Amino acid sequence: MTGAKLDLDRATVRRARTLARRAGRPIVALATSHTTVSVERAVLRMAGVVGADPDGIPWVNRLVDAVSEEVGIEHGVALPVWDALRQFNGRGKQADLTELAQKASTGGVRFRVPDGREADRARAAARRQVGRGIAVIDRRRRERESLVRRIGDAPRQPWIYLIVATGDIYEDIPQAQAAARAGADVVAVIRSTGQSLLDYVPEGAPRAGYAGTYATQENFRLMRAALDDVSRELGRYVRLTNYASGLCMPEIATLAGLERLDMMLNDSMYGILFRDINPIRTFVDQRFSRQVHARAGIIINTGEDNYLTTADAVDEAHTVTVSQLLNEYFAKEAGLQDWQLGLGHAFEINPDVPDSFRLELAHAMLARELFPKAPLKWMPPTKHMTGDVFRGYLLDGFFNLVGAMTGQGILLVGMMTEAVVTPFLSDRDLALQNVRYVLDAAGNLHEDFHPRPGGFIQTRAHRVLDEAVELLERITDEPGDAALLSAIADGTFGLMKRPPDKGKGYDGVVRQAAGYYNPATDILEEPAP
């Protein structure tokens, strides 16, 4: 049970979850009463719209823009698009959705919102075609499960998680395979700087990413195939991670499902706080993307570690716990299960603080015991890396030890030059040696380690939980239905102030009209076959 080692008060834990639900429900109501251009583009991607125009703008963007300009998207794009396709083909033409998008971009297609029998026909056609795309996602999930059974899985947790991203997928591939051979269980391909602020998903395999590699369907396909090859070689399934965040969160989640990615970074507030993306846009996109992740069997990784890079890791530890509780609520409401909740937290306390190691243990144990069935994603030190590689290597060793002592599920490999320079390959090799040594030497230490009853670690964990409850009470006591939006606007999380009517992408948010139809959410909210 929750209080096994920390002796957490069960009533306090229940109170924390009740308050998180109370804070989160108005946000879910907001998400289910609005749509965004990216949600509508994701629907068309599920239906098979592919490719881009000569300027590199995807046809899904062109099609949604054409519908928006003519009839708006408050009814969803499904009814006007499939109605237009039927009319276009009824004139003796034959076109698929991609060709329709091409015609629409030059003004060659007229859109309307059909009603009556014509609306019924459009609705049925949209559901059939989108359903075929979701069936591909279902098939890719079964494929993963089959490969894990046939090839084998990582022998134990925590899974060792390593970032590989050169900007060029064709350089990433051999590095990712080498990382797997050196012990990585999860390979993350970090995105090119600024991609989260693009309101379109690039096509093909661009090779000029900066400090990361562009997230595209083709790059997903190439890396997945390469990791499948090395998985067979090693006799264990190597998981692939990318980023479902930013202005195209729903689309990237869809592409990840279609190409069998295994994990996606998908935090409920990261884009709001650290990329200044409009809060409403983020919450609407996030719910749809998590429904896709739930269906695809993808594990999400949340981004609470980022709060501690802008706020003090001791004073603001409770905001991490609050965010974890909110992320859990939003995730489960969207259909994700406990095993898919890679809730984030980090080793970011200033090492000069007295008892910093014990404080880190207390925070890690609290996360572990609040979410006993979730894998959790434990993040390495970055903020207090100074460039002293010997000190940095030691800090990473402490970080790995806390991971072993508290039974974390996903352990991101820390580099001794983390956040100081782009790590060299030799840094990565040493970092993997550090992880392997600590995990092998510690073994199942988490089974043996129990903090002293009433001692420093238990007391600290209780205090952080109490502060989290107090913060949730302040949030839920705010007047109005969207109290969480007010808390975000006030700088409660990560000290970033983000008002609900500001931020990038706000012009792509629309309140749903009566009769709004989205075949994807219809299918995703039904029980999976």
Name the active-site residue from 5, 103, 377, 504.
377
The count of other CB atoms within 10 Å of the CB of residue 435 is 28
Gap between the Cα atoms of 457 and 464, Å rounded: 11
Given 83, 285, 305, 396, which residue is catalytic?
305
- What's the number of CA atoms in the CB half-sphere (13 Å) around residue 416? 20
SS3 of 120, please? helix
Catalytic residue chosen out of the listed positions 270, 329, 393, 516: 270
Please say if 481 is a catalytic residue. no
Rounded (10°) CA dihedral 493, 496, 499, 505? -110
Q: State yes or no: is 270 an active-site residue.
A: yes
Give the three-state DSSP class for 400. Answer: helix
CB atoms within 10 A of CB 454: 10
Partners of residue 344 on adjacent β-strands? 377
Q: How far apart are CA 318 and CA 12, in angstroms?
A: 14
Backbone angles phi, psi at 18, to 5 degrees: -60, -45
Q: How many CB atoms lie within 10 A of CB 481?
A: 12
Is 377 a residue of the active site? yes
Per residue, what are the HEC states of 276-322?
Answer: CECHHHHHHHHHHHHHHHHHHCCEEECCHHHHHHHCCCCCCHHHHHH
Active site residues: 270, 305, 377
